[in-house]
Structure 1
Amino acid sequence: MENSLNTAPQVIEALQSTDSATIRGAAFNAGDMALHDAIPLLCALVKSSNIGIQEAAEYALRKIRGPHVVTALLPLLRSEEAPVRNVAMDILREIGRDSIESMQPYLQDEDPDLRIFITDILGYSPTHQAALLLAKALLKDPEVNVRYQAAVSLGNLAFPETVPPLCQAMHDEEWVQFAVVEALAKIKDPSAANGLVKLLPQASPLVSSAIIDALGGMGDIKAIPLLFSSLENVSVPLRHKIVKAIVQILSVRSLSLLSAKSQERLRIYLLEALTDNDEDILLAALQGLSAIGNETATEAIINLATGLDAERQPELYEAAINAISSLGYNDMLRDALRSDDEKCISVAMAACRLLTDHSPVEELKNIFWRVSPELRRAAVAEVAQMGECTDTPFFLSIMEESEDAEVLKSALVFFGNQHACPEVEDIVFSQLDHRYVDVQEMALEACINLHSPKLNILFKQRAHSEDPMQRMMAIYALGRYSVTENLDEITQALEDSSPRVRQVAIEAFQNLGPQAEDFLPSLLPRLLDEDKDVRIALVDLLGQIGTASVMPHIISALADENDWVKIRAIEALGVHKIVDAVPYLAQMFETENPMVSFKIIEALGMIGGNMAFSVLLSLMGNEDPEIQHATAEAVAAIQAEQE
């Protein structure tokens, strides 16, 4: 039926049908044909209780648009049915600009609701004619809600030319004044900022608060003198708003450019603002104090942070910690570290963590012996990062007296960074025998970080230990130090009785990159290793080498009995786009489990070329829909490379 509506008379006739589908189709056709003769019928269909018909009529009216549609829709604003009014308003918001003249008489209508609707629609009609009509309604309409909506709509238009009538409307009721302030803020023009500044002295406290928020959001620096002059003789909440606006406008960087007298004056009120309950004001106060604060500010911010819940107020807590650290290490921060209140200590420690100097270290060391285990761990972790060689006795005493693995690991972090300290190698190396595995691992990393010739010799000796765990750590360290300098030990480890040692020995060659190819004669026998993880490590190494000479060996790994060895081999062949592997992969697909099959499909997509493309096309008929989907993606990848 829809396809047969080719002429205007046919569409008009269909719009008057009793069949819903016919009417709906005709409405869409009327829109696509921009059929003006259908406008009255389409407006009537907006009233339909059938949602499908109503949507089609709405579509058509939006498509046709123009003055005739605007004129025809306006009477629907008087409808008693809210859905009809809403549809008409929604369309008119989009197309109202096509005929501002049609809407103008409605601004004098006796019905205030109708005038509200029109002022709303004009706010979506970005023309200077609409702005003039709204300005007149703002200043002349007898109904406060119309004036309110006119102000809102002028804010939507955001034309600088409307600043004077908006400022004039500040003599209206507070309800309208709030809308005026919001409108001026949206205009974001210097004239709007000037207007708000001039209005501030005459506004009520509530409206003044809105003006200050608007000025802060606009960021016009010309407002600063008036805001400063307004700090006194206002209520405390309003003063806090002013402080926030000043920080917003000047930004943290510019606050320090204020005169010393202005900084001192502002600092007093920033400290006062820390007592506010509004999180935005607190954040602004913290930002301001981070730039121009002093020791008194440090104490006040610590007190604030101590009362915060870091999990429920993370942004505010983080801002407080950043502000404290910005003010540097001073007596107030030191006193907080000496406090008996662990929450206060925790706040001070968090701030010290952000400092870059050695100043807090002595206090942090003293804290360790008198606080809870949790704070001990935090304190020693901080000293480990900040400490110097002179702090070695503290860490030695910890290693002798503490049984806490986390504390010991932090001590090892410290020693691992002290390359110039005497006897540090022996201290760290001794912890490789610790009963906690995680402490052993940290000791190993510390040894590697020190990169000491002495430790290299000790690891060579330990490579022959009877303990396989110690042999494994030794080979790992020797590989990280230098494969070529420790080649004998690492090569011998390829034949070690422990599979983990053999695996680590293979992984050590990854540190050589492509040069590992020179050692293939020693490595390739491990493709037949009894341990799958050893074989996986070697396939990974061969894939990393990536030269033509290793590809046959990777292809041979496709016959491995372990799926993960096969998968690593398949991945390597895909990454290196080995066309010669395609027949092997195609043959494997028939006998492998789904996990391997998906990897084969993915690799074929990566390899590309005619042969891989043909294999993938043959798999499109697989009965498994997931296989079909994966194959389609691989085919698409090949096609994309051809474009």
Structure 2
Amino acid sequence: MDVELQPAISALDSSVEEIRYRAAQRLFTGKQLPEKEVLLRLLADASWRVRKFAVEKLLEQSIPTEVVRTLVGALAEQDNAGLRNAAAEVLARCGPAAVEPLLEVLATGGVDERKLAADILGEIGESAAVGGLLQRLDDDDENVRAAAIEALGGLGDRSLAPRLVEQMQRDGLMVRLSCLDALDRLGADAPLELLLDLLQTGPLRPMVYRLLGRARRQLVLPLLVKGLQARGRVERASAARALVEYALLTDQQGRVDVRVELARLGDELMNTLAGMLASSVREDREAAVMLLGWSGRERAAELLLPVAEDPALREQVREALLGLGQRVVGELEEKFDQASSNQKTLILEVLGQLQNASSVPRLLEAILDQDEDVTRAAQSALARVARVEVVETLTSFLQRNFATHADSLVGALVALGKSFQREVVQAMEPLLQQQQAQLRQAAAQVICALARLENQDQVMHLAADHDPAIRAAAVSALGRIGGGQASYERLRLALADEDNHVRLAAVRALAGRDDEGLLSLLVIALRDPDALVVREALVALGNTGDRSLGAHIRPLLSEDDGMVAGEAARALVKLKWDDDPSWLDEACQHPDAEVLREVLASCQGWPVEKVRFLVLAGLRHASWSVRVQAAKTVEALGDVECLHALKESVEKEDEDWVRETMQQILKRRLAAESKRP
């Protein structure tokens, strides 16, 4: 026994939980596990917190065989449920190493031990346990037989199904329930005649329904529909889930039959499914949503909309509403004003996909909604309905509401222009002659967003407009549609525009094209007085892959603006520019710490020997954000020297959360190293 640990071992006798917890921390600080007797004391502690800590620490390490056997022996502890449960939790995560000793307990232990061993073997899920588990199907104790069957159900071996069916035919209620559950988890079938017989036993019905759902026999359908009308909530939910599975597995005619049977149930079905939608079991809610979609009832929309608030079910609710078809259009439009934002966007999506012309007025109103998500959904829906007469209506809306809803209406017109480009552009052209600047800008945005190469002359004209917002929109369009030398010349002129927004649009337009000569224009943009324009040009140049551009970018590292210098450093890293390696030194010395942080974040693909000094400097830097990024770069590089420096930095680090981040990185590296052969 380690003498240094003796005080910690003695502290386990304390009546104070916190003292015992700190003792547990001390006992697990070394690489070796505590001695077996000490380990059992920790796992048997009266405090859940102490036991949980011991379990977590055990699971972080490779557990020796003798410790596994010690834990298996702890399953026989009758007077300490905490010890049994802690041992079981660890054994379930030990995998194959625990199977053999657990099988010994399964064969020779007491009743409680045999049941617990079967439970753990089921969690481990190793096929090597099949033989021992099958032997327990003849155990004298019903609980052991049931546990063995449940374990077999988790092994995924369908060849076990005949043996489970045989057991179900001759055993009692508890074992039959376990057999049905195991067959369900195995995805195996049982003889229909046997299932029909078991359906007469009330407690078995929920599980029987689950298996009947896979039977693909027409005589099963009325039985499942009858189950929807059962008194018991669990029985109804099980029948509903089984009916969904039946419908998904059957043929087209079978699905029609399901819809007919559901339609016959009327309000009784609605009440049953409404109850299921409030269930805490997600599978029940999913089944209710799908059945409502097949019910053919308008009231289903009212029940489905609130369920859409659950992100996990939203898509299924949408499919269910679409399945109800045109009959729910009126109901959805009626519910729209009182609906939440999420519900409104869903309603608009469904109305758009149903493409009912009567929904256009509602879609037009929704475009003016204050919620941006609702507005975007309305724009998309309107584009799906795609009626050319809507162009005139939207144009009129724009003329009346440009001061308050210009963005929404521009988006709607652009979406509609995907189907009616010529009509939308023609409707916008007269608005360019209006006096109101905001209206002209909106019209120009639509025209430019819909512009094609054949509209180049019109866009070129707008690029020379007196309004800088219109010039910026036109310049962006030129970058998208191209257009040869005339376009190139217009973009060159835009780089010298008096308005910085136009110049920024020009840089972004140039970044999206690969015409010869455009790189020289981006280089010119590096001398722009606006920092945002310069940064955008640096991003574009860094993405070209042309290393010869490094010489033009290099001088910007000396800019006082840290964001410009940082973008220049990132561009040089992307270009892998090493013609003048001293730039890395300059980046390291920049007064804005973010410059070094950007370099550290970007240089992980570089050879270690070229960036090691940067990483080491980063670990010593005064800025915590730089130190954290340096630590992350150390993890990515995996360099021994850098890892050693990181270990030293941990000991000197004053910021708790920075130190914790560094420790986690070292822990991950250690774990990765231990897995290498």
TM-score by length of 1: 0.71
Whole-Å separation in 2 of the counterparts to 1:434 and 1:156: 79
The code of the aligned residue for 1:151 comes to: A
Structure 1 position 345, deviation (Å): 13
Change (3 A) 1:196 1:576: farther
Q: Answer yes or no: is the 8 Å Cα contact 1:563–1:596 preserved in 2.
A: yes
Does residue 1:506 correspond to 2:503, yes or no?
A: no
- 1:383 corresponds to which residue? 382
- 2:461 corresponds to which residue? 461
Bigger shift: residues 357-366 or 529-538: 357-366
Change (3 A) 1:621 1:450: closer
- 1:555 corresponds to which residue? 554
Select which of 117, 120, 123 maps to 1:121. 117
Does residue 1:324 correspond to 2:309, yes or no?
A: no
Whole-Å separation in 2 of the counterparts to 1:635 and 1:43: 36
Deviations 1:93-151 (A, max 9, x none): 885854867766765xxxxxxx334333244453534433443324xxxxxxxx34531
- 2:331 corresponds to which residue? 336
Whole-Å separation in 2 of the counterparts to 1:314 and 1:393: 37
- 1:110 corresponds to which residue? none
Q: Answer yes or no: is the 8 Å Cα contact 1:305–1:317 preserved in 2.
A: no
Change (3 A) 1:483 1:551: farther
Deviations 1:537-579 (A, max 9, x none): 3333332344243221111222333222211111111011111
- 1:362 corresponds to which residue? 358
Change (3 A) 1:586 1:228: same
- 1:207 corresponds to which residue? 204
- 2:543 corresponds to which residue? 544
Structure 1 position 369, deviation (Å): 7.1
Whole-Å separation in 2 of the counterparts to 1:370 and 1:512: 37
- 2:19 corresponds to which residue? none
Change (3 A) 1:501 1:250: same
Change (3 A) 1:453 1:361: same
Whole-Å separation in 2 of the counterparts to 1:483 and 1:498: 23
The code of the aligned residue for 2:151 comes to: N
- 1:228 corresponds to which residue? 222
Select which of 243, 252, 255 maps to 1:247. 243
Q: Answer yes or no: is the 8 Å Cα contact 1:92–1:121 preserved in 2.
A: no
Change (3 A) 1:371 1:470: closer
Corresponding residue SS for 1:507: helix
Point out where structure 1 has 5 or more consecutive residues left out of the alignment: 4-13, 108-114, 139-146
- 1:112 corresponds to which residue? none
Corresponding residue SS for 2:543: helix
- Number of corresponding residues: 582
Q: Answer yes or no: is the 8 Å Cα contact 2:240–2:288 preserved in 1.
A: yes
Q: Describe how 1:230-629 pairs up with structure 2 within 5 A.
A: 231-232=225-226, 235-237=229-231, 240-241=236-237, 243-252=239-248, 254=250, 256-258=252-254, 264-269=260-265, 272-276=268-272, 277-279=275-277, 280-281=283-284, 283-288=286-291, 290=293, 297-305=296-304, 308=306, 310-311=308-309, 313=310, 319-329=316-326, 332-336=327-331, 339=334, 342-343=337-338, 350=346, 353-354=349-350, 359-365=355-361, 382-402=381-401, 404-405=404-405, 408-419=409-420, 421-422=422-423, 424-427=425-428, 430=431, 443-452=443-452, 456-482=456-482, 484=484, 485-513=486-514, 515=515, 517=517, 520=520, 524-602=523-601, 605-608=604-607, 610-613=609-612, 627=626
Deviations 1:465-489 (A, max 9, x none): 3333333333333333326332333
Deviations 1:199-246 (A, max 9, x none): 433302x4313432x426xx6335763453464498434684465244
The code of the aligned residue for 2:511 comes to: Q
The code of the aligned residue for 1:209 comes to: P
Q: Answer yes or no: is the 8 Å Cα contact 1:557–1:565 preserved in 2.
A: yes
Structure 1 position 532, deviation (Å): 1.9
Change (3 A) 1:580 1:465: same
Whole-Å separation in 1 of the counterparts to 2:554 and 2:367: 60
Corresponding residue SS for 1:220: coil
The code of the aligned residue for 1:207 comes to: L
Q: Describe how 1:38-53 pairs up with structure 2 within 5 A.
A: none
Whole-Å separation in 1 of the counterparts to 2:469 and 2:452: 21
The code of the aligned residue for 1:153 comes to: A
Q: Answer yes or no: is the 8 Å Cα contact 1:220–1:249 preserved in 2.
A: yes
CA RMSD of aligned residues (A): 5.3
Deviations 1:55-96 (A, max 9, x none): 9999999723899997x768x54x544455556777998858
Does residue 1:164 correspond to 2:166, yes or no?
A: yes
Bigger shift: residues 473-482 or 255-264: 255-264
- 2:138 corresponds to which residue? 135
TM-score by length of 2: 0.68
Corresponding residue SS for 1:190: coil
Q: Answer yes or no: is the 8 Å Cα contact 1:448–1:480 preserved in 2.
A: no
Whole-Å separation in 1 of the counterparts to 2:285 and 2:299: 12
Bigger shift: residues 452-461 or 585-594: 452-461
